[in-house]
Structure 1
Amino acid sequence: MSVSCAGIGEVRAPLLQGLWECVRAGQEDILLSPYLPALYGFVIHLLLCAPFLVLDTLGRVCQRVRSWRITAGSGPPPPLRRWVGCFWKVLYQYLTTIVPATALFQRVRSPVMPELAPSCWQFFVEVFACLLLFDMLFFIWHICMHRFPWLYRNIHQLHHRHHIPFALAAQDSNSGELLSLLLLALSSAWVLGCHPLSEAFFHLINSWLAVEAHCGYDLPLALHRLLPCLGGAPYHQAHHTLLSVNYAPYFTHWDLLFGTFRAPVKRSQ
């Protein structure tokens, strides 16, 4: 018996409806706060970086962990003081620029909290569409920041201080660049008319992919090993090393199409 995709989505909707009702219960003022997107992004980024801080700590004493480090002279994992210094720089960017600017954007956007959760099918389509749209927008903006000298010197060059990136450095950028990327992510969900639950999950996946791309490890169960369409950390480390390749944040199709793809650096054994 055939069942349409929409039908499948509607059947499974109660799973998301229960989650959505739990999230909404007495929390609408918080969910509608203009400060929520920036605070959510900052906290999620820190939480997702935590496992890699553990790996970097273990990597200083464990050869097995060091064997997962990407080659090309990556050296030992970054010390704790580098993590702490990066944390304070990112926190300063958020407090001085990201939080007030995104709050203004949210007031213009005027988000609403619907009573119903998305169907499972709607949830999947919205999250995947956001990933595809943001991937394209980031690719265009990233190339512009490299191809126009003024943009590179004044906006993007700061991020490339990290020739060998680590997880927390995913957001260690000029405040203008960090703000532009967050606004691209928010705008992607806004343009597509995403349900808030879909948007929250998209931002979670977006943060994880950014952290994983900068982590400096080619882990055995990394997403790019499970999904060949993703670039992952080796792909992005090639960008930090060579500068003129691998501009897309997630997928490889735009770099393949425009001839800027470079095969990832293989990890050491």
Structure 2
Amino acid sequence: MLAYPTIEAAESSLGRNLTLPERLWFAYSADKSDYFLYCHNILFLFVIFSLVPLPYVFAELRRIPVFDRHKIQPKFRLSLQEMFRCYWDVMRLFFLVVGPLQLVSYPTVKFIGIRTGLPLPSGWEILMQLAVYFLVEDYTNYWIHRFLHCKWGYEKIHSVHHEFTAPISFAAPYAHWAEVLILGIPSFLGPAIVPGHIITFWLWIALRQIEAIETHSGYDLPWTPTKYIPFYGGAEYHDYHHYVGGQSQSNFASVFTYCDYIYGTDKGYQYHKKVLGKLKEEQKRAAQLNGGKRD
């Protein structure tokens, strides 16, 4: 809840007029508790997970050509019933594990210093904090992911997530409940190190969820804006990890690829791409030769 009873009081305390976003934030949050604002995370997770995958689901079911030519594993197709089962399993995990965890973790959020009041952070501040969150999460997630691929971790926990050898967008958070709890640590570590405004925290949760949905979509779309992010893994990169499955010791990165490169865990993927590249080149040459013979 904001410390100012009126906009005038807020402007007097800050020594300036409120910006339009700050006025809107005041209008929305002035009479709401910090706990209520924090609980928006649950709503955002539900809405994003329910809506963002729908274009991929529609493309999968209708086999839309503009999408279909970019499907990474075209031989693998799931029915609507199979995709709905995945969605329902994840939603049950949200209600039984993620939701309650969000409700009880509020004291920790207050302790580390995530704020809800005025002034709002600048766009530059938000971008810098989000960059820190992504880098911290990516590095710590990399090592946890590698641990989950040891014999015990995979058999007891991580094998659930790898039930989808050709991942779909709804399968991004599909995992054992213990894995959801464990991987929540990297997601929370960045905001704990560099605490910011609750709006920045909301953006972080939303963007991380959207990124995971795209990475598990099964489509390597050339027009996605993430193609322009340096060292970004993307759908093709992570799809290989699922394709290899439990024996995979490659492509552990959650967002970026630098850890795999530094620690040598992208060699299988690079060899795979090299072989595929040669095969495609040979097929192209064969098609050109056959075309020349027909002429």
TM range (shorter): 0.7 to 0.9
Is 1:200 matched up with 2:202? yes
Aligned-CA RMSD value: 2.6
**Greater mean alpha carbon deviation, residues 235-244 or residues 21-30:** 21-30
Counterpart pick for 2:124 among 113, 121, 124: 121
Larger Rg: 1 or 2? 2
Q: Residue 8 of structure 2 aligns with which residue?
A: none
Q: Is the 8 A contact 1:28 1:113 kept in 2?
A: no
Please, which moves more after superposition, 138-147 or 74-83? 74-83
Summarize the alignment of residues 51-66 of structure 1 with structure 2, pairs less than 5 Å apart: 51-59=55-63, 62-66=64-68
Which of 239, 250, 258 in structure 1 is aligned with 2:255? Answer: 250
Match of 2:94 in 1: 94
Q: Structure 1's 15 and 208: CA in aligned 2 closer, same or farther, altered over 3 A?
A: farther
1:64-75 matches, within 5 Å, as 64-71=66-73, 74-75=74-75
Aligned residue for 1:89, secondary structure, equals helix
8 Å CA contact 2:251, 2:265 repeated in 1:
yes
User: Would the alpha carbon gap of residues 218 and 36 (structure 1) be closer, same or farther in structure 2, given more than 3 Å must change?
Assistant: same
What's the counterpart of residue 108 of structure 2? 108
Alignment check: 8 A CA contact 2:90 2:173 kept:
yes
Distance 2:162 2:253 in 1: 15
Task: Quote how far apart the aligned CAs of 1:18 are.
Answer: 4.9
Range moving further from structure 2, 109-118 or 86-95: 109-118
Equivalents in 2 of 1:19, 1:260: separation in Å?
47
| Amino acid in structure 1 at the alignment position of 2:122 | S
One-letter identity of the residue aligned with 1:184:
P
Q: Looking at both structures, which has the greater relative contact order when contacts are Cα pairs under 8 Å and sequence separation is at least 6?
A: 1
Aligned match of 2:154: 152
Letter aligned with residue 127 of structure 1: L
Normalized against structure 1, the TM-score is what? 0.83
User: TM-score under structure 2 normalisation?
Assistant: 0.76
Residue-by-residue CA offset, 1:153-183 (whole Å, 9 max, x unaligned): 1111100010000000001100111222234
2:239 to 237, 240, 244: 237
Q: Are 1:57 and 1:79, in contact at CA under 8 Å, matched by a contact in 2?
A: yes
In the other structure, the counterpart of 1:46 is 50
The CA deviation string for residues 44-73 of structure 1, in whole angstroms up to 9 with x for no partner, is 2222212212221221xx3443211014xx
SS of the aligned residue for 1:238 comes to helix
Shift of 1:43: 2.3
Give the C-alpha shift of residue 38 in structure 1.
3.4
Count matched residues. Answer: 251
Q: Quote the Cα distance in structure 2 between the aligned partners of 1:246 and 1:51.
A: 26
Query: Which residue pairs with 1:189 in the alignment?
Result: 191
* Offset at residue 24 of structure 1 (A): 2.6
Unaligned runs of 5+ in 1: 1-12
Matched letter for residue 85 of structure 1: R
CA contact (8 A) 2:136 2:186 kept: no
User: Whole-Å Cα distance in 2 between the matches of residues 223 and 160 of structure 1?
Assistant: 27
Does the Cα contact within 8 Å between 2:115 and 2:197 map onto a contact in 1? no
Q: Distance in 2 between matches of 1:46 and 1:134?
A: 23
CA distance in 2, matches of 1:230, 1:79: 30
Q: Do the aligned residues in 2 keep the contact of 1:165 with 1:214 (CA within 8 Å)?
A: yes
Shift of 1:32: 3.5
Distance 2:129 2:106 in 1: 19
Work out whether 1:260 is the aligned partner of 2:265: yes
Question: Could you tell me how far apart the structure 2 residues matched to 1:92 and 1:120 are?
Answer: 36
Listed as ranges, the matches of 1:135-146 within 5 Å are 135-146=138-149
Q: Which moved more, 1:189-198 or 1:123-132?
A: 189-198
Q: Which runs of 4+ in 1 moved over 6 A?
A: 266-269
Structure-2 change in CA distance of 1:19 and 1:134 (3 Å): farther
User: Equivalent pairs: percent with the same residue?
Assistant: 24
Q: Specify every segment of 5 or more residues in structure 2 that has no aligned partner in the other structure, as ranges.
A: 1-17, 285-295
